[in-house]
Every structure is written in structure tokens, then in C-alpha cells.
Amino acid sequence: MRRDPVIAPAVVLIWGAVALFVLYPLGRLLLLTFWNGGPSLDAVRGLLGDWTHRAALVNSLLLAALVGIAGTVLGFAFALLAVRANLPRWSGRALDAVVLLPLISPPFTAAIALIFALGPRGLISYHVFGLTRVNIYGLWGTLLSETLTYFPIAYLTLKAVLANVDANLEDSAFSLGARRWRVFRTVTLPLTTPGVANAFLLVSAASLADFATPLILGGTRFPVLPTQAFLQITGLYDMRGGAALCFLLLVPALAVFAGQRWFTERRGGSFVTVTGKVGAATRVKSLSPAAVLGLAVVCGLVVALVLVCYLLIFAASIVRGLGADNSLSLAHYGHVFSGGLKAVRDTLLIAVICMPVGGLFAVVLGFLVSRTEFPGRRALEFAAMMNYALPGTIVGIAYLVAFNDPPLALTGTAFILVVCYVFRYSLAGTRATSAVLAQIDPSIEEASASLGARRDVTFRRVVLPLIRPALLAGMTVLFIRAMTAISATIFLVSLDWSLVTVRILEGITNLELGQASAFSMLVILLVYLAVAVASLAMRRLNAGSLGQAGTLLGG
């Protein structure tokens, strides 16, 4: 429908916002990297001359590849167990609940827990096995921690893929005389290949962008790009160097992102439907009892490890000093609710502001790109995705470069924190909106128009009520991310506005791990509460469950 008096202003508004808060900062970042009184490659060339930075580039790529492989394998095992093993309902739910933990935890959680468990005086390595030479710092520790943190992304992706493989295809292979392993190898696996590739890229991207884990566990021996960029700026006050490191990170991040989009749009998309009918009415026999047992053992061990990690965090938060002075104490929580209260209040306030702002932005954008035609629609869709797709470190440094000085001196304000979250984490809501809209026949909107409703009236009275589940999911994701994010916002906080995640980092660097654990527990509790409320509301909207919100988190 052309000549619509409402769409055009909405498009202009959204484009303006995206241009200012996505394209402009990235442009400034590139400008700082490649312009020094004239076009110049000095900044990048200077970096590559430095051993640490070269190592950081290689390490980042190596780590991303390894975490991608490990996370995908683990995720596939979990997905097979969940979808194909005919588990009783409760154990499937329990699996989901445990797997969700790493996804909604604040950064550092797995890292702190691994230090407690496998560190120099680790509870498992030293106190259980008596080992003294275990070194959790470096590549292996980082790999372990990131795998535990990010395999749920692969799990959620592959669960949907596996559940949507048409059971008739496997059944017909069986009917043609193939045995289980052959069916798995010749039918199931080829059909899920695009999904597997997609999961690998998603996990790799998460690892590539991870700033918190290598900051704690990488140490000086295992530098990666995000931490190097952070140190370059906060330690050496070298903005240009930081920007150049961001550029080195930008290239592989964009490549992974492009690959992932290619897989979802060209190939994977055809196997994954938006309905997410997990556990469709199939009697799939593709797993032998022995295979189920094997998967159950592997997944059980991982689940146990995850639970031990969280138990350790909990334990650390309620004793004076875990491993040294194990007497019960609420001192850490006392600190959280006195000296740390401001950070908690600030974080909550910002998260609560983000929800309606980002939620509305998400659904309006989702509606515009999937239901209207305007010039530059695809470009807008892509541009709006940039801040989400790029590692937080890049976004944070770009914001620092763009918004640190007048006329747009915004760093350190609550406003820029909200803006950062809205443009970084609204994508889940936008995608959910597109997914819901894909299931709503356009004739519903046409019916409204034929009855005399303008486009904005139709949006308010028909579209918005129908996409409430998407709005809810989008707002939940925003809340969770606002509670747990650090990589971008660490560059934007100030004395006026601090964040819980930054306090956790301070706790770790000051070796006050108990305090950091108490903060972490608080965040985990708040986020679980939010997810519980959201899934309750979701059930009342008759539109899905935790699983769906989980899927959105994973994407």
C-alpha cells in the first residue's frame, strides 16, 4: 500500500536512530583506525608489528574454532538426547533448566567457578585429587569455560533443527531396510548439516566476542583481541590502537556473521520452522539403547559439572573465603546490599527502562521490515543487526570514540547505556516479531484496513495484540542482557552510573571472589525470576513456554 501517511515517518525515525547509534559510531571507529590527517594504515601496521597483538589475533581465531567445535559437538549430543531419546517429560525440562543457566548468567560465572574448582588450590583439582600442577589459566581453561558457557546456544539451535526433521523421511529409510546407524548417517545427519554449520558459527561468534572469560582465565600468556583492545584503552589510553584492534576483530566477526546468515537464509532456513514444535509426535527409533546410554553419560557429566560450578559460586557467596575459611557468613551479601546497592539499583533501573523502549523499537522494526515496503528496507534490516552481530568490545569502543566528546558527550550517562542495550539486544524481539508475523496472514491487516482503520490504528488494535508474545520475549531478553552484559558497557560506565557486572569484575580483580560470587548469585536469581515471570505470562498468552524464550536467547 503506497502513500501511507504513517509508515514514512516511522521509517524515517527508525532509520535516523539506526544511523546515529549504529552507523555513526562504527564510522567513527573506522575513521579513527584509517585516518590520521589523511588515509593511513599505520595503526593497523603498528599492531601487527607487536608480538602480543599478532598472538591475540591468532589466539582469537583458534579459540573461536575450538569452542565452536566443542560447543557444537556437545550441543548436538544434548539435542539428540532431548529430542530423540524419548526422555520422560520431567528430565527434558530439567535438562532445559540446567542448560539455560549459563545462557542467563552474568559473565565470569563459569570462569570464577572454574578457578574455585580447578585453580591452584582448587576444590576438585587439589582437595579431591591432590593435584598441584593443574593450570586453569591459558588456552585450555578458557576453552573449557567458554564451551560450558556457550554450548547451550548450539543445543537450542540443534534441538529445533532435529525436532523439525520430518520423521517420515527417517521412517522411509527404515522401511527400505536401513539400520539405525545408517539412517542417522545417511538421512538425519545430512538433513541437519546446515543447522550444525549454523550452530558452529553461532558458538564461534560468541567465543570470538567473549571478553569476560579470557580476561579472567587468559592471563598474559593467552591474549585475545577483545581483552587486548580493552587493555589498550583502559591501560594505555591508546584509543587509536584500541580502534585498530577492533578492526582486526571486526573482520573475522563479520565473516562469521555473513556465513551464519548465508546458512540460515539459503539452506538452514528450510529445515527450521518458526513454530518450534519441539518433540513432534514421532516415534523415532534412530537411537539404539546403547547410544542413548552413552549420550546420557556424557550429558550427565556436563550437567553435573555445570551444577558443581553454580554450587561453588553459591558456596563462595555464603562463606568467608571458599577453600581458606569455610565458616558460614553473610558478609558478602551484606556488602552487596550496602556498598553494592547503588550498582544493583542502577542496573535494575536501566534494565527496566530498556524493556519498553527496546521492546517497542523491536516490534516496530520487525513490523516495518516484514510487513511494509520502502526503499532501503533490506539495508535497514542489516544495519539494525550490526550492533548485535558485532562483538560488544567493538560496539563499546565505537561508542566511546563517537560519544565521548561534545556535541554528543554521552558516555557515563544512563542514556547511553540504555541506547547501547536497545540497539544491541532488540534483535531477539525483532526476530520474534517477524516470526509471529510470518504466521499471521496479511489479510488480517487488510481486513482492518477495509473496515476503515488507518495503518497506525491497525498496528495498535490488531498487530500489537497479536505480537504480544514477541514483545514479551523481546523485553525479557532485553532485561536479561541488561542485567548480564559487560563487554560493551564497561567502556560506558561512570561513577554516576555503575553496573553489577562491572562490580563483579572489580571483585575478581581485587581478589574478592566471595563478593563477586554474591553479586553473581543475585543477578542469577533476578534473571531466573524474570524468566519465570515471562514464561508464566507467555503461557497466559497461550503462545509458548520457556523453551521459546530460551530459543530466543540462544539466537
Interface positions with another protein (CB under 8 A): 1-4, 441, 443-444, 446-454, 457, 461-462, 465-466
Residue 42 or residue 441: which is nearer to another protein going by CB?
441
Cα atoms in the 13 Å half-sphere on the side-chain side of 393: 32
Q: Which is nearer to another protein, 335 or 455 (CB)?
A: 455
Phi-psi region of 216 (alpha: psi -120 to 50; beta: other; left: phi over 0): alpha
Q: What phi and psi, each to the nearest 5 degrees, are found at residue 340? A: -95, -5
Instruction: Provide the minimum distance between the beta carbon of 362 and another protein in the complex, in angstroms, as a whole number.
Output: 19
Whether 151 and 78 have beta carbons less than 8 Å apart is answered as yes
Q: For residue 407, say if its preceding peptide bond is cis, omega within 30 degrees of 0.
A: yes
Burial of 373 from C-beta contacts in 10 A (0-12 / 13-18 / 19+)? exposed
**Amino acid at the residue 512:** E
Q: Quick one: which H or E segment has residue 65? A: helix 51-84
Gap between the Cα atoms of 305 and 113, Å rounded: 10
How is residue 135 written as a grid cell? Answer: 593450570
**Element (DSSP H or E) covering residue 53:** helix 51-84
Q: Which is nearer to another protein, 220 or 542 (CB)?
A: 542
Helix 427-438 to helix 546-554 angle (10° resolution) is 120
424 or 455, CB closer to another protein? 455
Name the residue among 421, 471, 351, 479 with its Cα closest to residue 21. 421
Our CB check for another protein shows the closer of 1 and 297 to be 1
C-beta of 138: minimal distance to another protein in Å?
52
Q: Do 214 and 226 contact (CB within 8 A), yes or no?
A: yes
Note whether 428 and 555 are within 8 A (CB).
yes
Q: Minimum distance between the CB of residue 263 and another protein, rounded to whole angstroms?
A: 22
User: Residues 363, 471: contact at Cβ < 8 Å?
Assistant: yes
- Measured in degrees and rounded to the nearest 5, phi and psi for residue 339 equal -65, -30
Considering beta carbons, is residue 338 or 443 the nearer one to another protein?
443
Instruction: Cell numbers for 418, please give them.
Output: 540504555
Question: Closest distance between another protein and the C-beta of residue 465, in Å?
Answer: 5
Which CB sits closer to another protein, 198 or 448? Answer: 448
Cβ proximity to another protein, 357 vs 462, nearer residue: 462
